[in-house]
Structure 1
Amino acid sequence: MHTGILTDLDFEADGRSATFLSIPYSIDRSPYFQVKIPVFRFRNGAGPRLLLMAGNHGDEYEGVFALGHILRALETNLIRGAVTILPMSNIHAVMGARRRSPLDNGNLNRAFPGDPAGTPTERLAHYLEHALFPQHDVVFDIHSGGTSMEHLTTALIERQPTPEMMDKARDLLEHLGQDYAFIAENGYDSPTSMGAAARAGAIGISGEFGGGATVTPVTMENTKRAIDNLLVRLGITQAPLISESKAPVSTTILALQSHDQAIYATRRGWFEPVVTLGQTVAAGDVAGYYHDLERLECQADALMFRRGGIVISRRLHADCQAGDCLIQAAAEIES
């Protein structure tokens, strides 16, 4: 089957390799142009197979930087099995500091299962789901809040299609070394990378590791720890390679089960939050105030949480329009 991608990536060869996923895409200045997405491969015999990917959204940098650290630290003699690294999946979005691809405005994490004859984003999504993901047991797609959102560091899995896969995914989730983790319910048909991983027969792991289109020492250490812990838990490596050692943590499991756990703007306004990430809130608590800067003489609206929980994200930009998600509070679920 034509996948819409050209590559010489060899899944059976031992050793280290570096190549590209190439997407033919004719443009005005270059009729035989190809989108070049770097991909790195490490293999040392039979064993667990892990895909590490970042840059799905181009304004989320923790994963991009952390995968740079790990690909420089990995040596084939240090591993058992195989590790594939896709550090800038949506490379033109990364280089353009944009959530979506500037080539076609495609949001890769909403493009699965893709189309081998479609736009560059659709072709890439099709190749990932139908060719790359099936070659791996686990797919770790690293995210953060992007330009407009501040996000509590939370590892993430989707509800898996079988009890056996769910047990395995839950075990990996709770060994990533994060204070919070998240079980999403987007479903098997989800257009995200996690839905694609499930359809490809792989266990999908993800997470939100920061936000604001920047990084901090804390968000970087959390991301690097998650990568190291996943490699060790899968038995690919024996010890951390890029993170500081840390005593095991008790992970709090969270879930978003209703749209009532988020507050959305319904008109143009300016949002002033009064709570912080990680804060526990109750139904009826004030989340923030919504100002109208064109009518400053009018009282700002107090926005109330409709359900209690732990604040996991908030909009960073004060200026908001109808439809913008302003803040979310996730519910703690039994471990």
Structure 2
Amino acid sequence: MTQTPISTRIDFDKTGIQWGTLNIPFSYNLSGWAQLQIPISTMARGEGPTVLLMAGNHGDEYPGQIAIMKLMKELNLDDISGRIIFIPAINIPAAKSATRLSPLDGKNLNRCFPGNAEGTVTEIMAHYLTHEIFPRVDVVIDLHTGGRGVYFYPCAHMHLVEDRAQLRRMAAATEAYNTDFSFLYADIAGKGLLPVEAENMGKTVVTTEMGGGEVTNA
């Protein structure tokens, strides 16, 4: 773990159910002492893998955000063996603004990894995920849609990683998502991607598309 300006009351090693926020101090024209609060919840019971379930990487992609919030309310602790970290809207400024990019710094969170603890708000978010969350988890599930401008046929997708054991785990997780359509990226579409950062750390990573076009049936 590294130094980060983000604080939280969540104890990631604690069993049971916790609700809280990731708190990022920042300043802007209306306040020199503002604080950005990102909702987060954890459920932990017994032995088992740790899964990060997140959405809102791009703020205008709402179905995944809604689905995670519903799951947070409906899932019982007795239903799990291991730990789930829920972050329904990691890019909360963009989610509140219905924009793909953060209105605070104009950055695309999914192009900011591994992040910068002394950077902009979006870069600080990426740094926290890279250094504080990813090391704690075994599986990363990042829910996306096409946002306002695109509709994606519901699917799961993954990258072609070099490690064969990791590739098999990712393929099994992608298949378990149980959509009619899934695919494998043979190349990487850009730099600073969240899934690539997690993959480079050996995590089982699945990314999904859940429609888009300002339409949701979540």
TM superposition score category, shorter chain reference:
over 0.9
Answer yes or no: is 1:110 the counterpart of 2:111.
yes
Shift of 1:22: 1.0
| Equivalent position amino acid for 2:141 in 1 | F
| Equivalent position amino acid for 1:26 in 2 | S
Q: Tell whether the 8 Å contact from 2:137 to 2:203 is kept in structure 1 after alignment.
A: yes
Shift of 1:148: 0.8
Which aligned segments of 4 or more residues in structure 1 are displaced greater than 6 angstroms?
Answer: none
Q: Tell whether the 8 Å contact from 2:144 to 2:208 is kept in structure 1 after alignment.
A: yes
Shift of 1:189: 8.8
| Equivalent position amino acid for 1:199 in 2 | N
Cα deviation, 1:122-166, whole Å, max 9, x if unaligned, reads 000011011101111100000011111121112011122410010
Q: Tell whether the 8 Å contact from 1:60 to 1:214 is kept in structure 2 after alignment.
A: no
| Equivalent position amino acid for 1:210 in 2 | G
Relative distance call for 1:101 and 1:189 in structure 2 (3 A) is closer
Q: Which residue of 2 aligns with 1:194?
A: 195
Instruction: Output the aligned Cα RMSD.
Output: 1.6
| Equivalent position amino acid for 2:16 in 1 | G
Q: Which residue of 2 aligns with 1:16?
A: 17
- Secondary structure of the 2:37 match is strand
**Alignment length (residue pairs):** 217
Q: Tell me, in whole angstroms, the C-alpha distance in 2 between the residues paired with 1:179 and 1:211.
A: 17
TM-score, normalised to structure 2, is 0.95
Q: Which residue of 1 aligns with 2:48?
A: 47
> Which range moved further: 7-16 or 96-105?
7-16
| Equivalent position amino acid for 1:148 in 2 | G
Quick check: which one's helix share is greater?
2
| Equivalent position amino acid for 2:167 in 1 | M
Q: Tell whether the 8 Å contact from 1:19 to 1:39 is kept in structure 2 after alignment.
A: yes
| Equivalent position amino acid for 2:180 in 1 | D
Q: Tell whether the 8 Å contact from 1:7 to 1:19 is kept in structure 2 after alignment.
A: yes
Q: Tell whether the 8 Å contact from 1:157 to 1:183 is kept in structure 2 after alignment.
A: yes
Relative distance call for 1:129 and 1:93 in structure 2 (3 A) is same
Shift of 1:185: 3.2
Relative distance call for 1:149 and 1:189 in structure 2 (3 A) is closer
Q: Which residue of 1 aligns with 2:96?
A: 95
Tell me which structure has the larger Cα radius of gyration. 1
Counting only pairs closer than 5 Å after superposition, residues 201-220 of structure 1 correspond to structure 2 as 201-216=202-217, 220=218
Counting only pairs closer than 5 Å after superposition, residues 171-182 of structure 1 correspond to structure 2 as 171-182=172-183
- Secondary structure of the 1:127 match is helix
How many percent identity over aligned positions?
Answer: 36
Which one has more relative contact order, counting CA pairs under 8 Å at least 6 apart? 2
Q: Which residue of 2 aligns with 1:316?
A: none
Cα deviation, 1:157-193, whole Å, max 9, x if unaligned, reads 1122410010011011112110100212344994111
| Equivalent position amino acid for 1:105 in 2 | G
Q: Which runs of 5+ in 2 are unaligned?
A: none
